[in-house]
Structure 1
């Protein structure tokens, strides 16, 4: 097995982790991560399996079902261990998705063992990262080509007011205009891929008198393959990282290929 360690920022470096070490910024850019493309080509110079376009044209749409093991057979397994934040993991997954090398195995060593992605992946130990099994999970991406590793949130403006727009999961309305305060979504480990709940209190306390945890209504959770929203000044926060500019519409949906995640039960 070829073992690659992407050490993102002030993350875990363990002497017992015998891997090719790459020290990266806390939030690596796609340019920082281009070396992964080269390594992937070294173990799989040509990919004989169906392309994304061919999969999309397939009427069987097998990608809608349970997550699958990758069909590619590289000369040796390639395992990428990401140590850092959920955002760092999402950026590495984004690189693999854009390069269409999602057949690579990915393990996670989180700096926060209670982060959404750490909990989803059952991640935390070096032993699991190095020798744990691959258990594929859906890859949740946006229409602007970014992977959400652990969570994402939608709200209007600074999050202090009601949502000016609508949020729909598949064909069901989750958030109606001027009623709720936004939505939070997380990837799921199985089909269909997304679980989402509405915020029923402000996402941010505008008075800032004290720090208040926004309340989610878990009784109204919806699951689906896609979440779409249209409205005004939609703030998009992915893995606790706010995108620099608000948008008028955004879509999160399940990618055609699944993440080859090394994770616990």
Structure 2
């Protein structure tokens, strides 16, 4: 097995003694969120092991009449002469950048391991140790367990979580969302003036939605946010102020457990939405976004 270790920013790094035990290993220092230029080392390592992929392309898979790829995640079908394991030391945004590059270049047969720095939703999802040394031991010696890869229509892979909220107003406030979020064919939220949503009639605040990749089919779990996920909400006025005064305090990032849905895809639409993937925000407001399960699965090293 060949190892490629990416230390992202000032993240924890393995000692020279740890690296020496691996034999065939490369270690590279990259940015906190690696750029495409920095990830060329990953492109080269994958191309060296498998110059030509003999398996069906993504277009060929999509054209098939069956939907087997939507079931339980499976091992990569590529006939790899020697496994390549990439160990990412960094945060969720770094992991997302690496997975995004591998997805776009279509070499998801690569094994991915993660040594998280600080709080990490991806590490929680994958059941990884919080101690760096323990996470490293698992990363280099653990087994691959395939998992769905969730992406959006902008070509970003979701490592830990993604959120859909309202874009901030001119005063810099991020208020309740105006729009609709649908998981497969079920409405998760429909909120805003004239929407007739139950959350509006009851006075319960709705700030958007949060989604997290699953470890099995169908791929995505999503919930409605009843507290502000980012920024400061504008001060309530009129009827909204009276309703909120009677309710319990709004907790930042709070989710409605009763709203949880699972599915293969999440679609959202609204006049001005902010999309955040693993802490990295879209550069401008969007009117629609779709998250869905990719046609190829991740080869993840996890317990």
Query: Aligning the two structures, in what range does the TM-score lie when normalised by the shorter sequence?
Result: over 0.9
Contact in 2 for aligned 1:55/1:61 (Cα 8 Å) = no
Judge which range, 159-168 or 136-145, deviates more.
Answer: 159-168
Q: Which residue of 2 aligns with 1:261?
A: 300
Contact in 2 for aligned 1:93/1:147 (Cα 8 Å) = yes
Q: Does 1:171 align with 2:198?
A: no
Q: Which residue of 1 aligns with 2:128?
A: 123
3-state SS of paired residue (1:91): helix
CA distance in 1, matches of 2:3, 2:228: 44
Contact in 2 for aligned 1:170/1:225 (Cα 8 Å) = yes
Q: Does 1:250 align with 2:289?
A: yes
Instruction: Give the number of the structure whose residues are more often helix, by fraction.
Output: 2
CA distance in 1, matches of 2:257, 2:38: 38
Q: Which residue of 2 aligns with 1:10?
A: 10
Structure (1 or 2) with the larger CA radius of gyration = 2
Q: Which residue of 2 aligns with 1:206?
A: 233
Q: What TM-score comes out, normalization by structure 2 length?
A: 0.83
Contact in 1 for aligned 2:272/2:287 (Cα 8 Å) = yes
How far residue 201 of structure 1 moved from its aligned partner, in angstroms, is 2.7
How far residue 207 of structure 1 moved from its aligned partner, in angstroms, is 6.2
* Aligned-CA RMSD value: 1.7
- Runs of 4+ residues over 6 Å off in structure 1: none
CA distance in 2, matches of 1:260, 1:25: 24
Which blocks of at least 5 consecutive residues in structure 2 are unaligned?
Answer: 130-134, 193-199, 201-205, 236-249
Q: Does 1:187 align with 2:213?
A: yes
Residues 1-265 of structure 1 mapped to structure 2, 5 A cutoff:
1-15=1-15, 16-17=18-19, 18=22, 19-112=25-118, 114-124=119-129, 125-158=135-168, 160-178=174-192, 179=200, 180-203=206-229, 204-206=231-233, 212-264=251-303
Give the paired residue count.
262
Judge which range, 133-142 or 44-53, deviates more.
Answer: 44-53
Which blocks of at least 5 consecutive residues in structure 1 are unaligned?
Answer: none
3-state SS of paired residue (2:181): strand
